[in-house]
Structure 1
Amino acid sequence: MGQSKSKLSLKKQLGRGKQIAGMTTTIAGGLRAAQRIGAFREPPREKLPRYIQTFCRKMAGSFGVKIVEVEPVPQHHGLWVSNHVSWMDIPVVGSVSPAFFLSKAEIGDWPIFGKLAHAAGTVFIERGSGDVGSVSAQIASFLNEGFSVIFFPEATTTDGTKVKRIHGTLLQAAIDARVPIQPMVLAYVNKDGQLSKELPYYGKLTMKESLKKVLDSRNDTAYVLPLDPIDPNGHTKSQLTNLLQQRMQEGLAELHSRVLTKDS
């Protein structure tokens, strides 16, 4: 029994080591690409989406997560939103959408990941006195420049079974910039056709624990389903929030019906 456990532990360690090596290689490749196109000086936003999509897909792949578009994801300009299940959502949605991410300004100071975030054209939000209205204005300004933004309106992660109550304050940016809201939903599915228990990062799970679970998982697939865009014209922020809530809930149920096995 002890020998069997030892072999299992060694197999886990080798698997983790392989995935960490793949992640390190992907990061190094991303840094080289950013250097080559001058993204550390001034991110060339018109060129960046295809580089970001390639990098994100490779990053998810280094963790053994395959990404599948259940329907082709449109590449149009707008304010993008997605349900939120895991830190893995960032490489997943980044691999399929043409949008730039939002981030707290202090993340830009992080070593390595801060550099990558700058090079990826991340929209760093300066939060002052909890003024989400100013955040919305910053996003609207960015949208008016012709660049898309993506965020997670639930403002927290879930176990992947449902969409929590969404917070619609930032939808004001779509109203002000007169751009469509483009929702999409995602689900992590294991080899048995059931929702993955390894990928969700929520509750009291620590980042270290989550990372180990993801590194030890095998053959998980991230399915992404784009939903119909929402035209903000003629709607109040409250109306848009309710409409988006309904559309995302129905969209996630539709996605589950298409990618999960009947007994899951």
Structure 2
Amino acid sequence: MSTWYSEAPPDPVRIDGAGWLRLVLRGTVLILLILVCLFLLLVVRLVERPIFGLHRPWTPFIVQFVCRNAFRILGMTHRLRGEVMKGPGAVVANHSSWLDIFALNARKRVYFVSKAEVSRWPGIGFLAQVTGTLFIERDRRKAREQTNLLAERLKAGQKLLFFPEGTSTDGLRVLPFKTTLFAAFFSDTLHDSLWVQPVSVVYHAAQGEPSRFYAWWGDMDFGPHLMKILAARKQGSVEVIYHHPVRVADYNDRKALASAMEEQVRDGHTRHLAQDE
């Protein structure tokens, strides 16, 4: 997977005295929220898993609670547009920041599809596993096995969310969608019944801050970026725009479907980002 880099370097992180106070206060509350809810999730999952297996009737609400309140703690506005697709299916969205995980989970229960390496990342890998992330190995020899995993999760009623750009950006653009993962949608198991919903995620920085304030890309370190957001005096907002879902069977192949999804996501992103200009 290739990583996207901006021609202009990331904006420097500067935190003043009051910013450090905000960082400590917000960070403490956020950590407590995550730890308490993580403990609750693990306890509930002990009962949920043996009874329901892949079905998760309770724990996703805990994840939603964390994500919604994370924005309240940060002081960010979380705006929603459009209707969420009912029933199981795939969701595809642009990718600008680690905040996307909170933004996309806050309204509706979704399960992220991620590269297998993420499962081995300290801390983040564990959180991803316990919240139901599906890890995919990018190995053509395992294509059938991966497709079966996708089908199994979808049949269990889960919404699986993909980032087809394959990398995050500065939040000012949508990159061309990679078609590889779309191939699984055209398998005999999924082709006739699967629906896909495109979603645009748009970040609006607070007045006076760089337009890419919330974006996290390239080789940017997670720690300083998180600290910058926790310390911010003024916060902006994130918009999540749900477009109309489409039926996979209405498209001839993965390239046609990927192109249609990319067009809708980019159009929504461009229109709503233009509100800042």
TM bucket, shorter chain: 0.7 to 0.9
The answer as to whether partners of 1:196 and 1:220 remain within 8 angstroms in 2 is no
Deviation at 1:193, TM superposition (A): 9.6
Among candidates 247, 269, 272, match of residue 231 of structure 1? 247
The answer as to whether partners of 2:171 and 2:212 remain within 8 angstroms in 1 is no
Q: State the distance in 1 between where 2:106 and 2:149 align.
A: 24
Pair 1:256–1:112, CA change in 2 (3 A): closer
Q: State the distance in 2 between where 1:14 and 1:130 align.
A: 51
Moved more, 12-21 or 201-210: 201-210
Pair 1:16–1:78, CA change in 2 (3 A): same
Deviation at 1:55, TM superposition (A): 1.8
Among candidates 165, 176, 179, match of residue 194 of structure 2? 179
Q: State the distance in 1 between where 2:170 and 2:264 align.
A: 19
Q: State the distance in 2 between where 1:195 and 1:70 align.
A: 24
Q: Which protein, 1 or 2, shows the higher relative CO under an 8 Å CA cutoff with sep ≥ 6? A: 2
Q: State the distance in 1 between where 2:183 and 2:46 align.
A: 30
Which residue does 2:228 correspond to in 1? Answer: 213
Aligned residues: 253
Q: State the distance in 1 between where 2:257 and 2:230 align.
A: 38
Q: Which amino acid in structure 2 is aligned with residue 26 of structure 1?
A: L
Moved more, 166-175 or 201-210: 201-210
Which residue does 2:204 correspond to in 1? Answer: 189
Deviation at 1:17, TM superposition (A): 0.4
Normalised to the residue count of structure 2, the TM-score between the two structures is 0.79
Q: State the distance in 1 between where 2:202 and 2:30 align.
A: 22
Normalised to the residue count of structure 1, the TM-score between the two structures is 0.83
Q: State the distance in 1 between where 2:162 and 2:38 align.
A: 24
Q: Which amino acid in structure 2 is aligned with residue 221 of structure 1?
A: S
- Describe the SS at the equivalent of 2:266: helix
Which residue does 1:11 correspond to in 2? Answer: 18
Which residue does 1:159 correspond to in 2? Answer: 170
Q: Which amino acid in structure 1 is aligned with residue 247 of structure 2?
A: D
- Describe the SS at the equivalent of 1:96: coil
Moved more, 208-217 or 33-42: 33-42
Q: Which amino acid in structure 1 is aligned with residue 248 of structure 2?
A: P
What are the Cα deviations for residues 95-126 of structure 1, in whole angstroms up to 9, with x where unaligned?
Answer: 12322112344544555544433331222334
Q: Is 1:55 equivalent to 2:72 in the alignment?
A: no
**Unpaired segments of 5 or more residues in structure 1?**
1-7
Which residue does 1:242 correspond to in 2? Answer: 259
Pair 1:132–1:20, CA change in 2 (3 A): farther
Among candidates 202, 205, 210, match of residue 217 of structure 2? 202
**Unpaired segments of 5 or more residues in structure 2?**
1-14
Q: State the distance in 2 between where 1:119 and 1:212 align.
A: 25
